[in-house]
């Protein structure tokens, strides 16, 4: 049950973490927030997954509790998070997203590994986790969850007209925001959904053909051409005709690398990059009104080929979020710091226009340590 809003509260020094579908590592970031207003951004840290750890996580993708590989993946996720979270001092609460292995909101649910109880005991501060299950239980997609933070960011940068945040991680997700609305859960404030695959298929191609994690600076894609036939087959997928809100599992488009199997390395990379851009373009068609600009976060903003494709295709300015004074590497980790405070205050973290949930809901479990705080110093 959501609690009614009370008076404004003092800001909390919250730590958030994110381990995304690209399987690169763990981002951690501090936000000073009361769960509604951002008062400031603190220090950040990153803990990269080693190749052997990444291989274990990749092997566990698509697995559900109790299935082979899940326990090993859980140990890696908890150890990596604990290592990076222990670097921070003066933390009052932590938001722990965990690692998504499987996501079927209309099927078996959603599965993130990592135990918030164990982390709370190890860190000595309350840990908010399992952010998605309550949303899915109430008929929502369970994703994306960053939009309520994007709303706060739009206010923080002083936006006065509708704008969009576009996260290009393993999967792409779009948030359209009207910052003139009083709160994110009010009708008309937000529309959010997953646009389609983003970096994940490109990363899979690079791993399969070169043993590399990603196409650095879009260098390989820049040497190739987008093959229209493969692009058209990709856009025929019924996902693109579904109305939002909607969400995807990392491997929902598992045949994308197969669509470019017969292409040269460069053309394959260019085509997969073009598929990502085309899915964003399709997603933008759902915006309630034209955005003033599109702010891009996630690893995709560092791919100049992808960014150029978006700039050419869209009618609004396309900029990395750094142009607005934000940190595109840490925005999702910061989001779960902000959401952790919202959960503690009993405020909603998703609503019908962000996940399709039947009513505004505050997801997340709060685990409290039995010992005195150590990380809070």
* The pLDDT of residue 3: 41
Residue 308: which H helix or E strand, with range? helix 304-313
Q: Does the N-terminal peptide bond of residue 76 adopt cis geometry, omega within 30 degrees of 0?
A: no
172: tokens are 């792409």
Query: CB of 245 within 8 A of CB of 147?
Result: no
CATH superfamily of 12-140+340-346+363-367: ATPase, nucleotide binding domain (3.30.420.40)
Q: Where in the chain is the domain with CATH 3.30.420.40?
A: 12-140+340-346+363-367, 158-324
Model pLDDT for residues 323-351, shown as the tens digit of each residue? 999 999 999 999 999 999 999 999 999 99
Percentage helix, strand, coil for the chain under 3-state DSSP, each rounded to 5: 35, 20, 40
Structure-token match 């986790």, residue found: 129
Among positive and negative, which fits the CA dihedral 367, 373, 375, 376?
positive
Average pLDDT estimate for 109-127: 96
C-alpha atoms less than 13 angstroms from C-alpha of 357 in its C-beta half-sphere: 24
Residue 104 vs residue 221, higher pLDDT = 221
DSSP 250-294: TTTTTTHHHHTTTS-HHHHHHHHHHHHHHHHHHHHTT-SS--S-E
- Work out the number of other CB atoms within 10 angstroms of the CB of residue 199: 28
Residue 143 vs residue 21, higher pLDDT = 143
Assign 123 a pLDDT band (cuts: 50, 70, 90).
Answer: very high
User: Mapping DSSP to helix (H, G, I), strand (E, B) and coil, where does residue 63 land?
Assistant: coil
Query: CB of 275 within 8 A of CB of 196?
Result: yes
Model pLDDT for residues 17-76, shown as the tens digit of each residue? 999 877 889 999 999 999 999 999 999 999 999 999 999 999 999 999 999 999 999 999
Assign 377 a pLDDT band (cuts: 50, 70, 90).
Answer: very low
Distance CA 95, CA 100 (A): 15
The distance between the two most distant Cα atoms of the chain, rounded to a whole number of Å, is 61
Query: CB of 162 within 8 A of CB of 291?
Result: yes
Model pLDDT for residues 173-225, shown as the tens digit of each residue? 999 999 999 999 999 999 999 999 999 899 999 999 999 989 999 999 999 99
pLDDT at residue 374 greater than cutoff 80: no
Distance CA 93, CA 123 (A): 10
| CATH architecture under which domain 158-324 falls | 2-Layer Sandwich (3.30)
* The pLDDT of residue 137: 94
Model pLDDT for residues 286-330, shown as the tens digit of each residue? 999 999 999 999 999 999 999 999 999 999 999 999 999 999 999
pLDDT at residue 255 greater than cutoff 70: yes
pLDDT at residue 8 greater than cutoff 70: no
Query: CB of 61 within 8 A of CB of 51?
Result: no
DSSP conformation class of 115:
-
Which residues, listed in sequence order, are joined to residue 318 by a DSSP beta bridge? 294
* The pLDDT of residue 4: 41
Distance CA 232, CA 179 (A): 36
Average pLDDT estimate for 116-130: 97
Kindly report the pTM of this predicted structure: 0.92
Assign 373 a pLDDT band (cuts: 50, 70, 90).
Answer: low
């Amino acid at each position: 049950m959501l609690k009614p809003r009370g008076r404004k509260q003092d800001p909390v020094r919250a730590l958030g973490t994110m381990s995304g579908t690209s399987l690169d590592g763990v981002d951690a970031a501090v936000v000073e927030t009361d769960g509604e207003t951002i008062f400031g951004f603190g220090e950040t840290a990153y803990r990269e997954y080693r190749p052997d750890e990444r291989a274990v996580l990749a092997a566990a993708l698509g697995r559900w509790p109790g299935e082979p590989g899940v326990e090993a993946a859980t140990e890696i996720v908890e150890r990596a998070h604990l290592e990076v979270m222990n670097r921070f001092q003066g933390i009052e609460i932590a938001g722990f997203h965990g690692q998504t292995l499987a996501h079927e909101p209309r099927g078996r649910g959603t599965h993130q590994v990592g135990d918030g109880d164990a982390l709370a005991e190890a860190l000595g501060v309350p840990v908010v986790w399992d952010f998605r299950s309550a949303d899915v239980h109430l008929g929502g997609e369970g994703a994306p969850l960053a939009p309520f933070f994007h709303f706060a960011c739009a206010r923080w940068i002083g936006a006065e007209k509708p704008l969009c945040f576009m996260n290009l991680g393993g999967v792409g997700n779009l948030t359209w925001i009207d910052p003139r609305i009083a709160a994110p859960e009010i009708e008309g404030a937000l529309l959010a959904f997953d646009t389609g695959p983003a970096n994940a298929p490109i990363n899979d191609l690079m791993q399969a053909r070169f043993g590399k994690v990603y196409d650095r600076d879009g260098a390989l894609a820049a040497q190739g051409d987008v093959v229209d036939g493969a692009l058209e087959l990709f856009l025929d997928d019924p996902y693109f005709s579904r109305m939002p809100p909607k969400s995807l599992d990392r491997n929902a488009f598992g045949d994308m690398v197969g669509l470019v199997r017969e292409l040269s390395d460069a053309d394959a990379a260019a085509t997969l990059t073009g598929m990502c851009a085309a899915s964003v373009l399709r997603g933008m068609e759902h915006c309630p009104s034209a955005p003033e600009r599109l702010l891009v976060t996630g690893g995709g903003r560092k791919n100049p080929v992808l960014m150029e494709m978006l700039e050419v295709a869209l009618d609004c300015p396309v900029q990395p979020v750094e142009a607005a004074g934000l940190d595109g590497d840490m925005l999702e980790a910061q989001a779960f710091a902000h959401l952790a405070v919202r959960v503690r205050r009993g405020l909603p973290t998703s609503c019908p226009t962000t996940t399709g949930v039947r009513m505004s809901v505050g997801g997340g479990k709060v685990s409290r340590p039995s010992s005195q705080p150590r990380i809070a110093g």
